[in-house]
Amino acid sequence: MARLTPDNVRRCRDLIGLYPQSRSALIPMLHVAQEQDGWLTPEAMEHVGEMLDITPAEVYGTASFYDMLFTTPVGRHLVSVCTNLACLLNGGVELLEHAEASLGVAAGGTTDDGEFTLEEVECIAFCGAAPCLAVNWRFFGSVTTDAFDHLVDDLRTGRLADEVPPHGTLCRVRRNVGLTAGDATATPVAAPAAGTTEGA
Protein backbone atom coordinates (compact mmCIF):
# COMPACT_ATOMS: atom_id res chain seq x y z
CA MET A 1 0.00 0.00 0.00
CA ALA A 2 1.21 3.48 -0.86
CA ARG A 3 1.97 6.48 1.24
CA LEU A 4 0.50 9.75 0.03
CA THR A 5 1.41 10.77 -3.50
CA PRO A 6 3.37 14.02 -4.01
CA ASP A 7 0.20 15.75 -5.21
CA ASN A 8 -1.71 14.65 -2.12
CA VAL A 9 1.17 15.71 0.12
CA ARG A 10 0.85 19.17 -1.41
CA ARG A 11 -2.91 19.15 -0.86
CA CYS A 12 -2.40 18.13 2.77
CA ARG A 13 0.16 20.88 3.34
CA ASP A 14 -2.34 23.36 1.90
CA LEU A 15 -4.94 22.04 4.35
CA ILE A 16 -2.55 22.39 7.28
CA GLY A 17 -2.06 26.04 6.30
CA LEU A 18 -5.75 26.72 6.83
CA TYR A 19 -5.64 26.10 10.58
CA PRO A 20 -3.87 27.81 13.51
CA GLN A 21 -3.28 24.34 15.01
CA SER A 22 -1.91 21.88 12.47
CA ARG A 23 -3.69 18.85 13.94
CA SER A 24 -7.03 20.54 13.15
CA ALA A 25 -6.35 19.47 9.55
CA LEU A 26 -6.42 15.78 10.50
CA ILE A 27 -9.94 14.89 9.30
CA PRO A 28 -9.67 16.77 5.97
CA MET A 29 -6.29 15.11 5.42
CA LEU A 30 -7.80 11.70 6.10
CA HIS A 31 -10.40 12.37 3.42
CA VAL A 32 -7.55 13.15 0.99
CA ALA A 33 -5.88 9.86 1.91
CA GLN A 34 -9.14 7.95 1.53
CA GLU A 35 -9.72 9.49 -1.88
CA GLN A 36 -6.29 8.22 -2.95
CA ASP A 37 -6.76 4.55 -2.04
CA GLY A 38 -10.50 4.16 -1.40
CA TRP A 39 -9.77 3.47 2.28
CA LEU A 40 -7.24 4.53 4.90
CA THR A 41 -4.22 2.29 4.56
CA PRO A 42 -1.87 1.94 7.56
CA GLU A 43 0.89 3.53 5.48
CA ALA A 44 -1.25 6.54 4.59
CA MET A 45 -2.32 7.02 8.22
CA GLU A 46 1.32 6.84 9.31
CA HIS A 47 2.25 9.42 6.67
CA VAL A 48 -0.56 11.75 7.82
CA GLY A 49 0.71 11.39 11.39
CA GLU A 50 4.24 12.29 10.33
CA MET A 51 2.98 15.44 8.60
CA LEU A 52 1.10 16.49 11.75
CA ASP A 53 3.72 15.26 14.23
CA ILE A 54 1.26 12.92 15.93
CA THR A 55 1.40 9.15 16.40
CA PRO A 56 -0.23 6.63 14.06
CA ALA A 57 -2.36 5.56 17.04
CA GLU A 58 -3.78 9.09 17.34
CA VAL A 59 -4.56 9.11 13.63
CA TYR A 60 -6.22 5.68 13.85
CA GLY A 61 -8.19 6.72 16.92
CA THR A 62 -9.78 9.56 14.97
CA ALA A 63 -10.22 7.59 11.74
CA SER A 64 -11.92 4.67 13.48
CA PHE A 65 -14.44 6.95 15.20
CA TYR A 66 -16.14 8.35 12.10
CA ASP A 67 -18.58 6.41 9.89
CA MET A 68 -17.36 8.03 6.65
CA LEU A 69 -13.76 6.94 7.22
CA PHE A 70 -12.76 3.32 6.59
CA THR A 71 -9.68 1.66 8.05
CA THR A 72 -10.31 -1.61 6.18
CA PRO A 73 -10.77 -2.07 2.43
CA VAL A 74 -14.17 -1.40 0.89
CA GLY A 75 -15.47 -1.87 -2.62
CA ARG A 76 -15.12 0.65 -5.38
CA HIS A 77 -18.79 1.44 -4.76
CA LEU A 78 -20.12 1.73 -1.22
CA VAL A 79 -23.88 1.08 -1.42
CA SER A 80 -25.65 2.43 1.67
CA VAL A 81 -29.30 1.35 1.92
CA CYS A 82 -31.45 3.28 4.39
CA THR A 83 -33.84 1.32 6.61
CA ASN A 84 -34.89 4.11 8.96
CA LEU A 85 -38.59 4.89 9.53
CA ALA A 86 -39.61 6.56 6.25
CA CYS A 87 -37.70 4.00 4.19
CA LEU A 88 -38.86 1.16 6.43
CA LEU A 89 -42.49 2.06 5.72
CA ASN A 90 -41.82 2.33 1.99
CA GLY A 91 -39.93 -0.91 1.42
CA GLY A 92 -36.41 -0.16 2.68
CA VAL A 93 -35.96 -3.55 4.34
CA GLU A 94 -37.19 -5.33 1.22
CA LEU A 95 -34.80 -3.21 -0.85
CA LEU A 96 -31.91 -4.20 1.41
CA GLU A 97 -32.86 -7.88 1.16
CA HIS A 98 -33.01 -7.56 -2.63
CA ALA A 99 -29.62 -5.84 -2.67
CA GLU A 100 -28.12 -8.66 -0.58
CA ALA A 101 -29.54 -11.29 -2.95
CA SER A 102 -28.58 -9.35 -6.08
CA LEU A 103 -25.00 -8.65 -5.00
CA GLY A 104 -24.53 -11.98 -3.25
CA VAL A 105 -23.32 -10.44 0.03
CA ALA A 106 -24.92 -9.63 3.36
CA ALA A 107 -24.91 -6.07 4.66
CA GLY A 108 -21.36 -5.33 5.75
CA GLY A 109 -19.87 -7.51 3.02
CA THR A 110 -17.94 -6.82 -0.17
CA THR A 111 -18.41 -8.62 -3.47
CA ASP A 112 -15.63 -10.96 -4.56
CA ASP A 113 -14.69 -8.67 -7.45
CA GLY A 114 -14.21 -5.73 -5.09
CA GLU A 115 -16.79 -3.62 -6.88
CA PHE A 116 -19.44 -3.27 -4.17
CA THR A 117 -19.60 -3.02 -0.41
CA LEU A 118 -23.15 -3.11 0.93
CA GLU A 119 -24.19 -1.51 4.20
CA GLU A 120 -27.42 -0.82 6.07
CA VAL A 121 -27.61 2.75 7.35
CA GLU A 122 -29.83 5.03 9.37
CA CYS A 123 -31.47 8.10 7.88
CA ILE A 124 -29.56 9.72 5.00
CA ALA A 125 -31.99 12.68 4.87
CA PHE A 126 -33.73 11.81 1.61
CA CYS A 127 -36.98 10.78 3.29
CA GLY A 128 -39.21 12.40 0.67
CA ALA A 129 -37.92 9.87 -1.86
CA ALA A 130 -38.03 6.75 0.32
CA PRO A 131 -36.83 4.11 -0.06
CA CYS A 132 -33.46 5.61 -0.81
CA LEU A 133 -29.81 4.71 -0.88
CA ALA A 134 -26.46 6.33 -1.44
CA VAL A 135 -23.55 5.16 -3.57
CA ASN A 136 -20.29 6.78 -2.48
CA TRP A 137 -22.45 9.48 -0.83
CA ARG A 138 -24.34 10.28 -4.05
CA PHE A 139 -28.04 9.88 -3.37
CA PHE A 140 -30.71 7.90 -5.23
CA GLY A 141 -34.38 8.01 -4.26
CA SER A 142 -37.58 6.07 -4.85
CA VAL A 143 -35.46 2.99 -5.56
CA THR A 144 -37.45 -0.07 -6.59
CA THR A 145 -35.86 -3.49 -6.93
CA ASP A 146 -35.77 -3.05 -10.71
CA ALA A 147 -34.22 0.39 -10.33
CA PHE A 148 -31.59 -1.10 -8.02
CA ASP A 149 -30.64 -3.71 -10.61
CA HIS A 150 -30.36 -1.02 -13.31
CA LEU A 151 -28.24 1.12 -10.97
CA VAL A 152 -25.85 -1.75 -10.27
CA ASP A 153 -25.53 -2.45 -14.00
CA ASP A 154 -24.84 1.23 -14.73
CA LEU A 155 -22.18 1.30 -12.01
CA ARG A 156 -20.52 -1.92 -13.21
CA THR A 157 -20.33 -0.73 -16.80
CA GLY A 158 -19.12 2.77 -15.91
CA ARG A 159 -22.16 4.55 -17.30
CA LEU A 160 -22.37 6.57 -14.07
CA ALA A 161 -18.65 7.25 -13.73
CA ASP A 162 -19.09 11.01 -14.10
CA GLU A 163 -21.86 11.10 -11.50
CA VAL A 164 -20.48 8.54 -9.04
CA PRO A 165 -16.67 8.60 -8.72
CA PRO A 166 -14.79 5.81 -6.90
CA HIS A 167 -15.26 5.47 -3.16
CA GLY A 168 -13.49 8.12 -1.12
CA THR A 169 -14.04 11.06 -3.45
CA LEU A 170 -16.18 13.67 -1.74
CA CYS A 171 -17.89 16.44 -3.65
CA ARG A 172 -16.15 19.05 -1.45
CA VAL A 173 -12.76 17.44 -0.88
CA ARG A 174 -10.86 20.15 -2.77
CA ARG A 175 -11.00 23.55 -1.12
CA ASN A 176 -10.95 26.54 -3.46
CA VAL A 177 -11.99 29.37 -1.14
CA GLY A 178 -10.80 31.03 2.06
CA LEU A 179 -7.62 32.30 3.67
CA THR A 180 -4.67 30.50 5.17
CA ALA A 181 -4.40 30.67 8.95
CA GLY A 182 -2.87 33.92 10.22
CA ASP A 183 -3.07 35.63 6.81
CA ALA A 184 -5.87 38.13 7.42
CA THR A 185 -4.35 40.64 4.98
CA ALA A 186 -4.65 38.34 1.99
CA THR A 187 -7.46 38.63 -0.52
CA PRO A 188 -9.83 35.66 -0.18
CA VAL A 189 -10.02 33.34 -3.19
CA ALA A 190 -13.42 33.68 -4.84
CA ALA A 191 -15.78 30.76 -4.92
CA PRO A 192 -16.38 29.18 -8.36
CA ALA A 193 -19.23 30.64 -10.36
CA ALA A 194 -22.62 28.97 -10.03
CA GLY A 195 -23.07 26.10 -12.43
CA THR A 196 -19.38 25.23 -12.68
CA THR A 197 -17.96 21.91 -11.56
CA GLU A 198 -14.80 23.32 -10.01
CA GLY A 199 -14.37 21.94 -6.52
CA ALA A 200 -16.88 19.15 -7.02
| Cβ atoms 173, 14 nearer than 8 A | no
pLDDT at 19: 95
> What CATH number does the domain containing 47 carry?
1.10.10.1590
Q: What is the pLDDT of residue 176?
A: 58
Whether residue 120 sits in one domain with residue 51? no
3 and 61 in a single domain? The answer is yes
- Containing structural domain, residue 194: 1-74+168-200
- At 111-159, the pLDDT tens digits run 999 999 999 999 999 999 999 999 999 999 999 999 999 999 999 999 9
Is the domain of 13 the same as that of 64? yes
110 and 59 share a domain?
no
Cα separation of 119 and 74, whole Å?
11
Regions of the chain where pLDDT drops below 70: 1, 172-200
CATH number at residue 108: 3.40.30.10
* 69 in any annotated domain: yes
Q: What is the reported pLDDT for 2? A: 77
Count how many domains the chain has.
2
**62 near 29, Cβ under 8 Å?**
no
Query: CA 135 to CA 98: how far, in whole Å?
Result: 16
pLDDT of the residue at 197: 38
pLDDT, position 96: 98
Residues in the chain: 200
